[in-house]
Amino acid sequence: MTPSAPIALLAELTHRCPLSCPYCSNPVELERKETELDTETWKEVLGQARDLGVLQVHLSGGEPASRRDLEELTEHAAGLGLYTNLITSGIGLTPRRLDNLEAAGLDHIQLSLQGTNANLADIIGGYRGGFDRKMSVAKDIRERGIPLTLNAVMHRKNLDDLDRTIEMAVELGARRLEVACVQFHGWALQNRAALLPTREQTQAVKETVAEAARRLQGVLAFDFVPPDYYSDFPKACMGGWGSTGLNITPNGTVLPCHAAQTLTHLRFENVRDIGLEDIWYNSQAFNAYRGTDWMPEPCQSCDRKELDFGGCRCQALALAGDAGATDPVCRKSPLHAKVTEILHQEPNAHDSDLVYRKL
Amino acid sequence: MTLTLRKTDRPYLPRGVRVQRDEKRNRTVLMAPEKVIELDDIGVAILSRIDGITRLEDLVQDLAATYNAPAEQVEPDVQRFLQALRGRLYVMVQE
């Protein structure tokens, strides 16, 4: 059976970022500026993505505004008919750059939120003054009427501020709020003992989001990523490996998901060497966990196998020591007791120091 | 607020939401922030008629005439479709 074509491309233009969040989704081994793809190569790759069937491109990082050619790449992507979404901390988006991005055809901005006040947000982001700059950028975005989603990354240190987070999303004129509880890969895994929510917080966040979604219907839409360690079933990572989305790192490495480089037994191809279409359909890495044939028990005979696809491969490796195992978050996993044990210990541990991302 | 559209409401696709052909898959889709929704013929028929000027009751009359169906039958389908999109803020209305 021929795999379906991808819908979305996450283009990580750079790993450079003024923030150093301890849950950064970039890999622990960050790529340096010298290795980044140049403007012309990114344009070529965007064209290949469009020809392959991609409809939406998420311009991300690091902080994508760290690239001086962000406007040029946005214009190129929009010109190809791609829906262009900017995923940003806001730092570096001056009013002038926002004007230029608008003129380039930018469709939407997803702005991250580290906390609801400067004290907390700047500690999490590791960047003094970051919160005030972000609020100023949010105002500039609103004035221009650029569609805005606020992406609030939530964890033990800020979950108790959820009510204020929701209020802020309304005040800032966001149409959508993503309440994204930290997923434990890479940097976040190193900080799990400090960031893992308590059971009480997990219960409260579900209730608060459900209540607010009802109260604010038609005003603010919600997307909710629950803390998956507390779930009965794992998250359907990427909606199925190699099925709908792909990720390109700053140096051109093509990944089935942003965390996939932790799977060191896979070989990830680079757009400098091979065309994107060939990589998507034929590479070892994209075919490794595609479909359901690779699945072990209990997934193979589970009626949820095409709902959650066995969960997250990176989490299976991190917790079970085998990327081909059932995600131990699943209550049917033979190794689920490991997750239970972590939940028993870590959320109640004394606060440990945060490990900030760095080169 | 309620998501129900009044007869005189004039729905529209806000900035950042558009109907677009997906040539690769030979279909029409609704493009929204971080979301692609496949449209069937009825979805295309509804969304191609909303412009922030046309009132809901006129939209329903137009669809009823075009598809030779009673307006009372068309209206609930249009309501359901637009309300679901309004809940995600993919559709907004002018009063």
Question: For all residues of chain B together, what is the average pLDDT?
Answer: 97
Residue A297 corresponds to which tokens in the numbers above? Answer: 């028990």
Using only C-alpha atoms, chain A has a radius of gyration, in whole angstroms, of: 20
Residue B31 to residue A81, Cβ atoms within 8 A: no
pLDDT at residue A351 greater than cutoff 90: no
Neighbours of B22 (CB within 10 A): 18
With cut-offs at 50, 70 and 90, classify the pLDDT of residue A291: very high
The CA distance from A315 to A300, in Å, is 18
Residue B73 corresponds to which tokens in the numbers above? Answer: 């039958």
User: What was the pLDDT predicted at A341?
Assistant: 94
With cut-offs at 50, 70 and 90, classify the pLDDT of residue A237: confident
pLDDT per residue over B1-10, tens digit each?
899 999 999 9
| Cβ-contact A313, A329 below 8 angstroms | no
With cut-offs at 50, 70 and 90, classify the pLDDT of residue A353: confident
| Stated length of chain A | 359
With cut-offs at 50, 70 and 90, classify the pLDDT of residue A348: confident
Q: What does the DSSP assignment read for A170-220?
A: HHTT-SEEEEEEPP-SHHHHHTHHHHPPPHHHHHHHHHHHHHHHHHTTTT-
User: What was the pLDDT predicted at A359?
Assistant: 79
Chain B positions contacting chain A at CB under 8 Å are 1-3, 14-17, 20, 22, 24-25, 29, 31, 33-34, 36, 86-89
User: What was the pLDDT predicted at A121?
Assistant: 95
User: What was the pLDDT predicted at B36?
Assistant: 98
Taking contacts as CB-CB distances below 8 angstroms, the residues of chain A near B39 are: none
User: What was the pLDDT predicted at B53?
Assistant: 97
pLDDT per residue over A70-127, tens digit each?
999 999 999 999 999 999 999 999 999 999 999 999 999 999 999 999 999 999 999 9
pLDDT at residue A352 greater than cutoff 90: no
pTM of the model: 0.97
pLDDT per residue over A141-187, tens digit each?
999 999 999 999 999 999 999 999 999 999 999 999 999 999 999 99
Question: For testing the chain A interface, which of B13, B24, B29, B34 should be mutated: the one with the most A CBs within 10 Å?
Answer: B34
Q: A154: which strand partners?
A: A181
Taking contacts as CB-CB distances below 8 angstroms, the residues of chain B near A55 are: 20, 22, 29, 31, 36
pLDDT at residue A1 greater than cutoff 80: no
- Tell me which residue has tokens 């359909």: A281
In tens digits, chain B (95 residues) has pLDDT values of 899 999 999 999 999 999 999 999 999 999 999 999 999 999 999 999 999 999 999 999 999 999 999 999 999 999 999 999 999 999 999 98
pLDDT at residue A2 greater than cutoff 90: no
How close, in Å, is residue B69 to chain A by CA atoms?
A: 30
| Cβ-contact A226, A172 below 8 angstroms | no
Distances from the Cα of B6 to the Cα of B9, B54, B57, B81, angstroms:
5, 12, 8, 14
User: What was the pLDDT predicted at A273?
Assistant: 98
How close, in Å, is residue A221 to chain B by CA atoms?
A: 5
The CA distance from A337 to A313, in Å, is 18
Distances from the Cα of A345 to the Cα of A177, A318, A339, A350, angstroms:
31, 18, 10, 10
pLDDT at residue A349 greater than cutoff 80: no
Residue B33 to residue A218, Cβ atoms within 8 A: no
Residue A56 corresponds to which tokens in the numbers above? Answer: 């939406």
3-state secondary structure A247-265: EECCCCEEECCCCHHHCCC
Residue B1 to residue A221, Cβ atoms within 8 A: no
